[in-house]
Structure 1
Amino acid sequence: MSDVVDRFVRYCAVASQSDPLTADHVPSTESQFKIAEVIADDLRELGAPDVKVDEHAYVTAHWPASEGCVELPTLGFCCHIDTAWQSWGDPVHPLIRRYEGGEFVIGQGRDGRPVVISPATNPQLEHLAGTELVTADGTSLLGGDDKAGDAMCVSLLARLKADPALPHPRLAFAFVPDEEIGHGAALLDLDEFGATFGYTIDGGPLGEFCYETFNAAEAHVRARGLSVHTGTAKATMINASEAIMRFHQLVPPAERPEFTEGYDGFFYLERMEGSCEEASADYIIRDHDQAQMERRAQILRDAVQLVNAQFGTDVLSIEIHDQYRNLADVVCLPENAHLIENARSAYAAIGQEMTCIPMRGGTDGSQLSFRGFACANLSACYYNAHGVREFVPVRELESMVDMLQALVGLYARPQTA
């Protein structure tokens, strides 16, 4: 195996899901410390001089500039170490197999049924016949989101160590926990990190580039009811679960993830539970346009008022919290244009056309850009993220290390606006 594939498989085998139900502390799961230490040990073995794993499982390190580049600004990279919580993620059994075309049975699911990836749902497979893919065995997600990015960064440093003549500025790396539950790089000390611009590596197929993300918020709806015997309930019982269901019926059905694409925003019901006396529903709200975000928040507030009016009392309450903003507001400033153009040139250097997409999600860069670290998002080369059909093509993993080598070389010279 190539260096990046070896690291990727090792990292994926270390289960490290985050958990929204324990998000009151960071990291939300102890398992994230395990992958943090694995990555930190690899960085130390390569000779990174200041590897640190803090009490929140943040891994940070720097790599000194090549000769003649010491005075240039530090270039930063950020990836996350947690994997998605929405699917099975422990244990993970990564496999490398040759894909010969057509439907590909990657294993059996936990229900005993075959788990298949198919050109019908992944047309990209038509261009991958005859190549090797990394998958899990059907019983869990793989974790390419974002352990592919983690492996690429460490493999880049392995190349720079092997050939000190490769030009590059001082580099800063952050591997952060709990991105999948909205925390991400919130506690990253940017002064210590020392970079004012750079990239997250947390995107899809090779060549994908993102300087636009959703604006994001979360909404927590709570209901308080009154339980009495069903035989004497008339005009007395207040069913909290019924109130939550009435609320959900007022959320625009066409503005849900399964009916949207491109720049369409949405409301997504993440979870709900309840009884007669207590019920709750948690939503996320997404839109590329901030004005539309405010419209969506008002729709939910209005729905709460309407349901309360129907019941004649304040059964429902709602809390809405911002999570992150569209990084385009920062990356598209003239002084940050080099983030886009250098990425385009680095992709071209490996023979790959760059494809800009409006990301239907967020990255750590969505948060970091508004804290002073302007960063766009590069390919991590995973497909079907957050599910058991996830896969990563070997040749794309390897090509992205080539791309990163070209990219850091472009920053071995002063940048102009």
Structure 2
Amino acid sequence: MDIVERFINYTKINTTTNKANGANGIMPSNPAEMELAKLLESELKALGLKDVKRRENSITTAVLPSNLSYKVPTVAFFAHMDTSLEQSNDTKAKIIKYEGGDICLNEELGIYLKKSEFSELENYIGDEIITTDGTSLLGADDKAAIASIINAMQFFAQNPDVKHGDVVVCFVPDEEQGLLGAKALDISEIGADFGYCLDCCGIGELIYENWNAGDAAVTFKGVSAHPMNAKGKLVNSLLLAHKFISMLPNGEAPEYTDGKEGYFWVKELAGNSAKTVLKLDVREFDEKKYEQRMQFLQDLAGVCAKLWGDGRVAIKLNDRYKNVYNYLNNDNAPAIKTVKKAFANLGIIPDIKPMRGGYDGAVISQKGVPCPNFFTGAHNFHSIYEYLPVKSLRASSEVVKEIVKLTALK
């Protein structure tokens, strides 16, 4: 099966992640993720991969066994099956030949992919591009990755003389709501020396740095009183929360930062005069700086508790995921050297950038399989304007093949 047909088949299964189910520990959060997992299971078996296993939580793995007489590193490839919550309509993917200008996604609704807003379209004049009808996500995040990986496995199945070591493929659910699938993954069942997620955008993108990420919940307890006799009695927890927020460093928030600049994100404030809960996200690329940010919040809560009295402030800190680079250590790590060599061999110019977010590889790396992230080829993730140039999709799969070939070298 051609990679484009394969990708479009996957988009027909609506796997929008379900946040309510995920919050209640239901995995997969959307039953359609299991439907996709069953399809992938059947395709992997049809290609002759071994140890094909689909679990009750829909995590699906398989192994392409080595055809070598000598030992080489085992490499793994990861992708997620769910799509983001921004749109939940069924995807109606279509292929267009791009000749320049704006692309009409939906004439009836007047929805256009405008060159003035998405200038990178100029790079694809004369190419085929996969889009939606403007009423849904395309789902290339991350079904393009699944198609890329399966297409590469098809190549090795059909070309048994091409040398390769053991290759593990793994598809997980519910990445789009806190990397839940990767967190549920039993890494001992992967058995890889290193791996790759395919979960970033345009051709050439390569990521091996992301946030160290944590969150904090700060609870403020006040004293209720009727306003007619509140003087000297009322302690308004909402105002305590606002005072706490005012003591956070100026300018260290998402709207003021970019690149590798970390931040505190005041994300949610809910309550009344008696009790208020403040939720914050903490982000930092440097691990030491991340720890300092978390300690700052702990210390600030302690100072406020002393100022306002015992029991007025309580804080709970939580680590969410770590920077992949913590586990790669340097740019000469095998996972980084191999993917850069694959890019070079294929004439792909690497666009190396830090990710101001997280991806499954952050959790997978922390569990013991260092895992950079490279492109699927798509643009505008989480948007009705998401599109996928066919050449970029094919290039993504070629990188998978080249990595496998490179790891087979003595």
2:401 alignment partner in structure 1: 405
Alpha carbons 1:251, 1:299 under 8 Å: kept:
no
- Aligned residue for 1:362, secondary structure, equals coil
Between 1:170-179 and 1:223-232, the stretch displaced more is 223-232
Separation in structure 2 between the aligned mates of residue 69 and residue 276 of structure 1, nearest angstrom: 71
- Residues 345-356 of structure 1 correspond to what in structure 2 (within 5 A)? 345-356=341-352
Which of residues 273, 288, 291 is equivalent to 2:288? Answer: 291
The 1:201/1:238 distance shift into structure 2, 3 A limit, reads same
Letter paired with 1:149: A
Alpha carbons 1:224, 1:240 under 8 Å: kept:
yes
- Residues 94-109 of structure 1 correspond to what in structure 2 (within 5 A)? 94-107=93-106
Separation in structure 2 between the aligned mates of residue 120 and residue 206 of structure 1, nearest angstrom: 21
2:125 is the alignment partner of 1:129: yes
User: 1:137-181 deviations in whole A, cap 9, x for unaligned?
Assistant: 333333222221111111111222222222211211111123231
- Aligned residue for 1:374, secondary structure, equals coil
> Post-superposition shift, 1:225?
4.6
The 1:3/1:307 distance shift into structure 2, 3 A limit, reads farther
> Post-superposition shift, 1:58?
0.9
- Residues 243-392 of structure 1 correspond to what in structure 2 (within 5 A)? 243-252=240-249, 254-305=251-302, 314-333=311-330, 337-392=333-388
> Post-superposition shift, 1:229?
4.5
> Post-superposition shift, 1:396?
0.4
- Aligned residue for 1:127, secondary structure, equals helix
Alpha carbons 1:216, 1:286 under 8 Å: kept:
yes
- Residues 31-42 of structure 1 correspond to what in structure 2 (within 5 A)? 31=31, 32-42=33-43
Between 1:36-45 and 1:132-141, the stretch displaced more is 132-141
1:18 alignment partner in structure 2: 17
Root mean square deviation of aligned Cα: 3.0
- Aligned residue for 2:399, secondary structure, equals helix
Alpha carbons 1:26, 1:178 under 8 Å: kept:
no
Separation in structure 2 between the aligned mates of residue 245 and residue 141 of structure 1, nearest angstrom: 38
User: 1:318-377 deviations in whole A, cap 9, x for unaligned?
Assistant: 22211222222322458x633222212222232211222222222222222232212222
The 1:289/1:232 distance shift into structure 2, 3 A limit, reads same
Alpha carbons 2:28, 2:58 under 8 Å: kept:
no
- Aligned residue for 2:392, secondary structure, equals helix
The 1:228/1:331 distance shift into structure 2, 3 A limit, reads same
Separation in structure 1 between the aligned mates of residue 163 and residue 237 of structure 2, nearest angstrom: 63
> Post-superposition shift, 1:187?
3.1
Alpha carbons 2:265, 2:280 under 8 Å: kept:
yes
Separation in structure 2 between the aligned mates of residue 282 and residue 18 of structure 1, nearest angstrom: 23
The 1:387/1:37 distance shift into structure 2, 3 A limit, reads same
User: 1:76-112 deviations in whole A, cap 9, x for unaligned?
Assistant: 1112222233x1234333333333334445349xxx9
- Aligned residue for 1:174, secondary structure, equals strand
2:159 alignment partner in structure 1: 163
2:173 alignment partner in structure 1: 177
- Aligned residue for 1:40, secondary structure, equals helix
Alpha carbons 1:256, 1:266 under 8 Å: kept:
yes
The 1:69/1:258 distance shift into structure 2, 3 A limit, reads farther
Separation in structure 2 between the aligned mates of residue 254 and residue 76 of structure 1, nearest angstrom: 40
Letter paired with 2:34: F
Alpha carbons 1:241, 1:278 under 8 Å: kept:
yes
User: 1:293-340 deviations in whole A, cap 9, x for unaligned?
Assistant: 123223433554566577656444322211222222322458x63322
- Aligned residue for 1:8, secondary structure, equals helix
- Aligned residue for 1:52, secondary structure, equals strand
> Post-superposition shift, 1:120?
4.5
2:77 alignment partner in structure 1: 77
- Aligned residue for 2:280, secondary structure, equals strand
Separation in structure 1 between the aligned mates of residue 166 and residue 357 of structure 2, nearest angstrom: 30
The 1:48/1:230 distance shift into structure 2, 3 A limit, reads farther
Separation in structure 2 between the aligned mates of residue 389 and residue 247 of structure 1, nearest angstrom: 39
The 1:246/1:213 distance shift into structure 2, 3 A limit, reads same
The 1:102/1:240 distance shift into structure 2, 3 A limit, reads farther
Separation in structure 1 between the aligned mates of residue 66 and residue 230 of structure 2, nearest angstrom: 74
Separation in structure 2 between the aligned mates of residue 106 and residue 306 of structure 1, nearest angstrom: 55
Between 1:292-301 and 1:391-400, the stretch displaced more is 292-301
1:65 alignment partner in structure 2: 66
Aligned length: 407
2:88 is the alignment partner of 1:92: no
Between 1:324-333 and 1:143-152, the stretch displaced more is 324-333
- Aligned residue for 2:133, secondary structure, equals coil
Between 1:55-64 and 1:221-230, the stretch displaced more is 221-230
2:53 alignment partner in structure 1: 52
Unaligned residue ranges in structure 1 (runs of 5+) = none
The 1:142/1:228 distance shift into structure 2, 3 A limit, reads farther
Alpha carbons 1:344, 1:353 under 8 Å: kept:
no
> Post-superposition shift, 1:236?
4.1
Alpha carbons 2:378, 2:392 under 8 Å: kept:
no
User: 1:237-277 deviations in whole A, cap 9, x for unaligned?
Assistant: 44444444444444445223333222112233444444444
2:2 alignment partner in structure 1: 3
> Post-superposition shift, 1:26?
5.1
TM-score w.r.t. structure 1 length?
A: 0.86
Between 1:293-302 and 1:144-153, the stretch displaced more is 293-302
- Aligned residue for 1:57, secondary structure, equals coil
Q: Percent identity?
A: 31
Letter paired with 2:286: D
